[in-house]
Amino acid sequence: MNEMYDMSIVTHYYSVIGILVVIGMNAIMLANAKDIAHYQRQMSIFTPLSSMALGGIIFTGVVMMAAKHLDFSIENILMIVFSLVIIVLEVKRIKTLKYLKKER
């Protein structure tokens, strides 16, 4: 059981690093965007990576809470709230990019 918990902590850590890298890369791609159609194509390829990293964070967090029978502390509640906020912001971003006009 401890091996599963240790592996989950390592996976959680690397997933958090991954989502931070994805956020940074999104900011860089947005700053360097010159053509809307090209940016939309980049985001359609890049969006599954961000979803996968966020899913890894949430899944490993749930596994850790279940494995150690953790209570809902302030830290755990904040992580859940931040995850929900990031999910809502991603959905809004995807919807905005989907319906963005390609003409200027």
Give the 3-state secondary structure of residue 23.
helix
State the CB neighbour count (10 A cutoff) for residue 28: 10
Per-residue pLDDT of the chain (104 residues; tens, 9 = 90+): 677 778 878 888 888 898 889 889 888 988 988 888 888 888 888 888 888 888 888 888 887 887 777 777 888 888 889 889 988 988 888 888 777 776 65
Cα-based angle 36, 38, 44 (whole degrees, multiple of 5): 100
State the CB neighbour count (10 A cutoff) for residue 35: 11
Domain residue spans of the chain: 2-98
Residue 104's pLDDT is what?
54
- For the whole model, what pTM was predicted? 0.72
Give the 3-state secondary structure of residue 70.
coil
Q: How far is CA 46 from the centre of its chain?
A: 11
